[in-house]
Structure 1
Amino acid sequence: MALRVCVTGAAGQIAYSLLYSVAKGDVFGKDQPVILTLLDIPPMMGVLEGVVMELQDCALPILQEVIATSDEREAFTDIDVAMLVGAMPRREGMERKDLLKANAKIFKSQGKSLDQYAKKTVKVVVVGNPANTNALIAMKCAPSIPKENFSCLTRLDQNRAKSQIAGKCSVPTSAVKKVTIWGNHSSTQFPDAMHAVVVKDGKDIQASEAVNDDAWLKGDFITTVQKRGAAVIAARKLSSAMSAAKAICDHVRDWVQGTADDDWVSMGVISDGNSYGVPEGLVYSFPVKLSGGKWTIVDGLAVDAFAREKMDVTAKELVEERDAAFAFIAD
């Protein structure tokens, strides 16, 4: 049976890289048929039709059907997975509250449509920024879908962090494990290498030992990851697209297929108030293990004073975003 996968913002840059990877089997497997439903706003329908033609012209063996639409009902009906990529981008002169208000409206509508039309088992990953709070809005507006089925993307930040450590240690990124992104997908996020491991000569070495530069791990490493998106924009004059699409694929693939026993990944998931002092009801990035389509927060990691301060700062920002966004959707 084919999986129905919805991608929003489907005429955009990220989707252009994402759709090909999903349709050729990088996420759900080379033998799993997929039906793609592509959602975008009415002015983008012409561009989206071109994307549909390209997908058809790829002649991908597992791609059964492509549906392009500006109607949420058509896009979300009976879907198994939702990749909510589309969002209002921050424009020059726009204050953060204006961005929150614009996206609260979008994700309120999409949450209600998911609640009404999608399967109750649907897995939702929110990419459009502010991703954590947009995921929380969609979740709140879809009360019949389990909260555990909503997540936001912080895998791009994790991939960036792994790459930085790998480069510092002169190893491939596959040799770096257990890197954690805590908190918000914003400049307050906390990329944490305290528990990370680097595999060298077949042996697991603590990243702090392999890097052997504590000042870098507590300084440039963190700020480089926090500001990487801005650095890409400064260089490309466009936001991250290829790397974002790859991270979405990683996120959903691991959610569906599971993580390795000796590793974990970072996902923005709902806090129950019992993990690492994070307030209840925030979508906060934690280290998680994935199995059988379900996530579990990795418990019991040591948190020193340095980490505690960073984790609290990003939680505070998320509380402020949540309160502002909830006021907007109550209007």
Structure 2
Amino acid sequence: MSEPIRVVVTGAAGQIAYSLLYMIAKGDVFGPNQPLILHLLDIPPMMGVLEGVVMELADCALPLLRGVVPTADPAEAFKGVVAAFLVGAMPRKQGMERKDLLSANVKIFKVQGEALDKHADKNVKVLVVGNPANTNALICSRFAPSIPRENFTAMTRLDQNRAQAQIAARVNVPVANVNNIVIWGNHSSTQFPDGSHGQVKMDSGKTVSVREAVGDDAWLRSIFVETVQKRGAAVINARKMSSAMSAAKAAGDHMKDWFHGTPAGQFVSMGVVSDGSYGTPKDVVFSFPVVIKNKKWEIVKNLQIDDFGRKMLDITGKELEEERGEALAIIGA
């Protein structure tokens, strides 16, 4: 067994964390031989609920969990952490637009960026889950100048998982047989779920392109895209609450790949600070296909983008530029 690592989860008394904390603490994310100390951050009114979460973690009797630090103080929450799941944010409710979330959440992520800068390990890996995740990640990175910008990412893995599940259902194969589906852009209804680079292992054992497996480009450009784009809203309509179990699973998948790397020949989608690849706007957090090795991600280059894809990338890029402008205005930058 190695030395315990410190991992923080914000919004730790909330719905997503309720599923996520168990996954982390039992070893699904950092590995079956990695002990850890969980730092749980939430707001003062939630401390009673958080106490119950701490009791449940104790009652799980998890061998890897060496300590739990529940707190409402960002300085204590971020002290010495090597991985941060920034889940806590004002939730999106039925009928709410993403822009309604910006004002309150930008301020939260400014404070958390400052606390990470002062107290976290300088190579901390930060995953922003709270929406609008891409712009929250950008703001958080701006207020943590001593931490590399590439260490701030936003979660689009939930969208990738949703897209893989849609393809798998369409062609009737296990979801594990589908890979290299790309989510471009924002974790919002402008995102571009792109199946054109994906692969499917068929029941015969043969691996073919998603386009060949599906055999319906019109579906891939319409129903498939719209289903993934609007899946979050569909879950809210059904549950009367936003995605929680699936969001927790995706957060775990994202961080697991960041720490352990991507399989050979496969890439995953992560919101990262854009370098302008594929003609996207620079200095926004944009979801790209990435490969990961030695805890460092790299954008996959030279994928072909057709006219439809170009239009979709431009739409989501424009939205991210607008969000960035609004967020910077809110914080007076």
Structure 1 length normalisation: TM-score?
A: 0.98
Counterpart residue number, 1:18:
20
**Deviation, structure 1 residue 94:** 5.8
Match of 1:314 among 304, 313, 316: 316
Match of 1:175 among 174, 177, 180: 177
Counterpart residue number, 2:120:
118
1:82-93 alignment runs, 5 A limit: 82-91=84-93
Of the structure 1 ranges 230-239 and 252-261, higher mean CA displacement relative to structure 2 is found in 230-239
SS at match of 1:125: strand
Match of 1:226 among 223, 226, 229: 229
Pairing 1:194–2:178 present: no
Contact 2:38 2:69 in 1 (8 A): yes
Contact 2:92 2:242 in 1 (8 A): no
Structure 1: stretches of 5+ with no match in the other structure: none
Distance 1:97 1:15 in 2: 24
Distance 1:4 1:203, change over 3 A: same
Distance 1:267 1:198 in 2: 21
Pairing 1:32–2:24 present: no
SS at match of 2:92: coil
Counterpart residue number, 2:272:
269
Contact 2:93 2:242 in 1 (8 A): no
Distance 1:303 1:170 in 2: 27
* Letter paired with 2:205: G
**Deviation, structure 1 residue 202:** 2.2
* Letter paired with 1:228: R
Pairing 1:255–2:281 present: no
Distance 1:282 1:233 in 2: 27
Distance 1:122 1:99, change over 3 A: same
**Deviation, structure 1 residue 90:** 3.4
Indicate the percent of aligned positions where both proteins have the same amino acid: 64
Distance 1:309 1:259 in 2: 29
Distance 1:190 1:96, change over 3 A: closer
Distance 1:93 1:250, change over 3 A: closer
* Letter paired with 2:31: G
1:48-127 alignment runs, 5 A limit: 48-91=50-93, 96-127=98-129
Structure 2: stretches of 5+ with no match in the other structure: none
**Deviation, structure 1 residue 93:** 7.2
Structure 2 length normalisation: TM-score?
A: 0.97
SS at match of 1:54: helix
**Deviation, structure 1 residue 6:** 0.1
Q: Over aligned residues, Cα RMSD in angstroms?
A: 1.1
Of the structure 1 ranges 263-272 and 91-100, higher mean CA displacement relative to structure 2 is found in 91-100
Count residues with an aligned counterpart. 330
SS at match of 1:82: strand
Distance 2:209 2:98 in 1: 38
Counterpart residue number, 1:152:
154
SS at match of 1:261: coil
**Deviation, structure 1 residue 233:** 1.2
**Deviation, structure 1 residue 325:** 0.2
SS at match of 2:127: strand
**Deviation, structure 1 residue 99:** 1.9
SS at match of 1:4: strand
Counterpart residue number, 2:133:
131
Distance 1:176 1:2 in 2: 34
Divergent runs of 4+, >6 A: none
